[in-house]
A and B are shown apart, each in its own frame.
Chain A
Amino acid sequence: MSRRRPRPVVVVDAESTNPPGLLEQIAAVGRRSVTRTLRQRALLVFPLVFPLILFAINGSSLSAATKIPGFPTNSYRAFALALPFIQGSLFVAVTTGTDLARDIETGFFNRLALTPLQGPALLLGQLGGSLVLACIQAVVYLLVGLATGVVIVTGVGGAFVLLALAILIAFAFGSLGALLALRFGTGEAVQGIFPLLFVTVFLSSSSLPRNLIKVTWFRDVATYNPVSYLIEGIRSLIITGWDGQALALGFGFAVLLLVITLGLASAAMRTRLVRT
């Protein structure tokens, strides 16, 4: 029986003095990241299932909320569908951060640093796995929502925009996970931050629209919390229709989070490579 030989991360011609191009480097590191993500079934299943369990329970438990005067829809399940996308994004952050931290802890990162691999390639490649996870999650959550009777009022086009926004948000949170891993260097530290990330979802408009939150300080916190706008961007496509302001805020905050976290992660990467 023949055994498959492991594929090298980057094929380099020993005779050549030219290192592989940036895109090739990103692809090579990304391929490894994607393979690792897909091989860790437990890491794939839990982030998928946990938000769906909460969606199933809260979608029914909180259905009485639709009787509050001014509630924007008569289906709490439709209202709640935005939440799994955000919770799944938090899991993407943890998965990405933990994987990168493990590379740092095991010394794999140090060995890569000795190769001609460029910092941006290493960072963007490592995010390949989180992108795949984000895509899988977004599609599954949408399909589960549709299967449970949720109607996307913006139709097929809206569903595609929703997927794009959800994937962008998850990728931004994946970058945040990478930043945490690069700054702290341990998986334990990354996982320790997870409860704090979760808190930002609690303190948002995740369970009720902001105008229906009765406690003033909570409503103020939810208003200043960017997570509210990420949720509301996705939610608008499901229950409101084409709401330009909600979408602009949703995409705007997602891009802002991505730019900030990627920028800081790049700086942290440079520092870590210098340390190495």
Chain B
Amino acid sequence: MFVARGVAWRSIHNTLVSPAILLPSIIFPLFFLVAFAGGLSRLADVPNFHYPPGYTAFQFVFVFLQSAAFGGVFTGFAVARDFDSGFARRLLLSAPRRSGIIAGYAIGALLRWMITGTVVTIAALIAGMNVDGSASELVGLLGLGIVFNFVSALWGCGLAMFLRTEQAGAVIQMPVFVLLFLAPVYVPLPLLTGWIHDVARLNPATVVLEAGRGLLAASPVKVGLAFILLAAAAALLAVFARRGLASAERAG
């Protein structure tokens, strides 16, 4: 716990004192929100598009969950940067219990996303987003974001510990980016056609996204399944991250 606290504190401290780290993680989701909710709102006029809170809310859920996932990805970048600078190796030498390092980075990812998530939510509310869900449903949406953030942090940390170079950035980011965009980002699943419909139907991110949108619209769907899928991913990626740590330990 001592190690986790120290790593988490350093992670959030670095984020807060370095605009170059903090700003992209805030600005990117904001621009996605602006571009999608603003530029594509006419899509709500497509026949059979039905989402009562409106298109801004529809896109907010995607951007909210995407920012959660990218909070974890950016933490993966930080781990890779720590290996490049040699800090991670000193950390491995000094930490009495090394699994605390992963926990610390994951807590850092969560704290970082809390900032981004708050900014995105405020921006969406200012833009006139309707919120139909009850307080408990909104807590459910927040819970989805927290677990999603944890899952992607485990992915980012694990891969960064395997590769141990900043050049791994694209490899960490791209699968998360593609997974998210292969979900029904712009219109609900039934309105997708062709190969993207088949892929989105099988994509676990679709379940999480639909659950989030359902919670915001006060008509929850697949919430239990979404949490089960995220828990399963967390369990798998915890093993992956632990192996990444073991790989880094072996490499010295």
Contact = CB atoms under 8 A, between A and B. Distances in A.
Contact of B192 (A46, A61, A67, A214): A61
Nearest to A201: B35
Interface in B18-62: 20, 24, 27-28, 31-32, 34-35, 38-43, 45-47, 49
B194 A202 contact: no
Contacts of A203: 34-35, 39
Interface in A49-83: 53-54, 57-58, 60-65, 67-69
Given A57-B196, A67-B47, A215-B39, A62 B186 contact: yes
B91 interface: no
A198 to B, nearest CB: 8
Nearest to A203: B35
Contact of A213 (B39, B181, B186, B194): B39
A207 interface: yes
Among B34, B39, B185, B196, find the residue whose CB has the most chain A CB atoms closer than 10 A: B39
B153 interface: no
B38 A218 contact: yes
B170 interface: yes
A90 to B, nearest CB: 14
A214 B196 contact: no
A61 B195 contact: no
Contacts of B185: 61
Contacts of B40: 62, 65, 207-208
A46 B167 CA distance: 13
B35 A202 contact: yes
Given A60-B195, A61-B185, A61-B192, A208 B45 contact: no
Contacts of B192: 60-61, 63-64
Given A46-B170, A61-B186, A64-B187, A217 B194 contact: no
Nearest to A65: B43
A222 interface: yes
B135 to A, nearest CB: 29
Contact of A195 (B28, B42, B43, B196): B28
A73 to B, nearest CB: 15
Main secondary structure of the interface of B (DSSP, over half): helix
Interface residues of B, number: 32
Interface residues of A, number: 30
A141 to B, nearest CB: 19
Nearest to B37: A215
B193 A60 contact: yes
B4 to A, nearest CB: 31
B172 interface: no
B191 interface: yes
Contacts of A23: none
Contacts of B27: 195
Nearest to A212: B42
B42 A214 contact: yes
Contact of A63 (B39, B47, B184, B193): B193
A106 B205 CA distance: 44
A202 B46 contact: no
Contacts of B191: 64
A263 interface: no
Given A67-B47, A192-B20, A203-B34, A60 B194 contact: yes
Interface in B174-196: 178, 181-182, 184-187, 191-196
Interface string A184-223: 0000000010010011001100111000111101100010
Given A60-B193, A60-B195, A195-B24, A68 B35 contact: no
B46 A53 contact: no
Contacts of A199: 31
Among B24, B46, B191, find the residue whose CB has the most chain A CB atoms closer than 10 A: B46
A64 B50 CA distance: 13
B42 A208 contact: yes
A61 B196 contact: yes
Given A57-B182, A64-B192, 9 more contacts: A57-B178, A60-B192, A60-B193, A61-B184, A61-B187, A65-B42, A67-B47, A207-B35, A214-B45
12 contacts: A60-B192, A61-B184, A61-B187, A63-B194, A68-B42, A68-B46, A203-B35, A208-B39, A213-B42, A214-B41, A214-B45, A217-B38
List the 10 closest A-B pairs by CB distance, nearest first.
A60-B196, A202-B35, A218-B38, A214-B42, A215-B38, A214-B41, A64-B191, A64-B187, A57-B181, A64-B46
